[in-house]
């Protein structure tokens, strides 16, 4: 008996067609192109969303629709494939990794750098690999299939807009490599446990993204942290270093007193926040900033958003923030 897969098509380059205005999403185009993947061992249904969007326009309401559709059809299918634009694919993968809790089947996100109607499109191989992954009954997590690799969703980052190798997971191993044979790295796959649950997002959640740069940014961020928000991502230097700017530290302390987490992440692609590695990392920690270790900004935004959408006491929220929840970070021993 073949695998039953549900495909959710939200938009993106992969399904674009030629129009008088140039390449643009064309309703009904993708379902006809995907017929070639139907077989005796693979049967799938496809939901094409009424408004196909460029993923740069993604909003919390779009994430809620994906979460809701997977929850609604969770028990009817063996796996899920989400077809998505590349610009925010890593953000969506991270949100789903935290919102879809205790998964016991695969959720695979894919897309392409060139549309399927292009003669050199990478979309065909990405889709083929996504369907292969979605048929693995022991793959119990949200993953991203792109350019012949399979990555953990909450570890993936878009790293290249000029080649087919669009995504990588700089701080985590790949989950599979697709060649003539498929190298499934099952030893690093997560094991499902517990009862599946889907967490809808509070669409009013506001997380502040703060990218430190030399100059006046530190002081201005301190003022922002005094305002209304549900948490902040502070992108610091190196291993979590920041200037001992009084206004910044007062803002971090103010947010901490109000139980609004300020997560300290590193700007570098590969590496982790290590409080105490340098003296310059101490003031942020003393003001109440929490270490994000080697989490990606995409995963950190998703984790803060999902936690802010849950009914949790501040202590429980902080405990969940600092633990490895979906394979999103490595915590030093």
Catalytic residues: 13
Q: CB under 8 Å to 316, separation ≥6 — which residues?
A: none
CA–CA dist 212, 236 (Å, integer): 6
What tokens appear for 66 in the block? 């994906």
CA–CA dist 33, 37 (Å, integer): 9
Residue 176: strand pairing partners: 150, 184
Q: Is 262 exposed, middle or buried (0-12, 13-18, 19+ CB in 10 A)?
A: buried
CA–CA dist 321, 302 (Å, integer): 11
Q: Are strands 232-236 and 208-211 parallel, antiparallel or unpaired?
A: parallel
Closest CA to 126 of 109, 105, 106: 109
226 to 2, 184, 233, 246, 313: CA distances (angstroms):
56, 47, 14, 13, 21
Q: Is 36 exposed, middle or buried (0-12, 13-18, 19+ CB in 10 A)?
A: exposed
70 to 10, 258, 309: CA distances (angstroms):
13, 35, 18
3-state secondary structure of 151: strand
Where on the phi/psi map is residue 22: left (φ > 0), alpha (ψ -120 to 50), or beta? left
Closest CA to 260 of 328, 325, 210: 210
CA–CA dist 307, 202 (Å, integer): 10
């Amino acid at each position: 008996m073949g695998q039953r897969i549900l495909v959710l098509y939200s938009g993106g380059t992969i399904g674009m067609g030629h129009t008088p205005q140039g390449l643009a999403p064309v309703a009904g185009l993708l379902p006809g192109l995907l017929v070639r993947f139907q077989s005796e061992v693979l049967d799938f249904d496809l939901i094409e969303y009424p408004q196909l969007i460029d993923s740069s326009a993604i909003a919390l309401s779009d994430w809620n629709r994906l979460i809701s559709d997977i929850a609604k059809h969770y028990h009817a299918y063996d796996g899920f494939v989400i077809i998505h634009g590349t610009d925010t694919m890593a953000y969506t993968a991270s949100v789903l990794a935290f919102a879809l809790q205790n998964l016991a089947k695969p959720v695979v996100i894919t897309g392409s750098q060139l549309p399927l109607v292009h003669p050199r499109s990478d979309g065909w191989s990405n889709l083929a690999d996504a369907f292969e992954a979605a048929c693995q009954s022991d793959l119990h997590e949200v993953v991203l299939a792109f350019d012949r690799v399979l990555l953990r969703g909450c570890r993936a980052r878009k790293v290249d807009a000029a080649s087919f190798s669009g995504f990588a997971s700089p701080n985590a191993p790949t989950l599979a490599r697709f060649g003539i044979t498929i190298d499934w790295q099952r030893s690093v796959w997560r094991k499902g446990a517990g009862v599946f649950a889907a967490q809808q997002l509070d669409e009013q959640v506001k997380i502040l993204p703060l990218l430190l740069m030399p100059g006046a940014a530190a002081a201005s961020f301190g003022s922002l942290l005094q305002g209304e928000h549900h948490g902040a991502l502070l992108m610091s230097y190196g291993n979590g270093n920041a200037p001992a700017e009084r206004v910044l530290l007062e803002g971090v302390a103010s947010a901490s007193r109000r139980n609004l987490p300020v997560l300290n992440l590193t700007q570098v692609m590969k590496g982790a926040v290590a409080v105490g590695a340098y003296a310059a990392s101490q003031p942020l920690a003393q003001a109440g900033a929490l270490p994000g270790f080697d989490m990606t900004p995409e995963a950190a935004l998703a984790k803060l958003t999902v936690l802010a959408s849950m009914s949790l006491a501040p202590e429980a929220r902080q405990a969940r923030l600092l633990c490895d929840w979906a394979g999103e970070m490595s915590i030093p021993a």
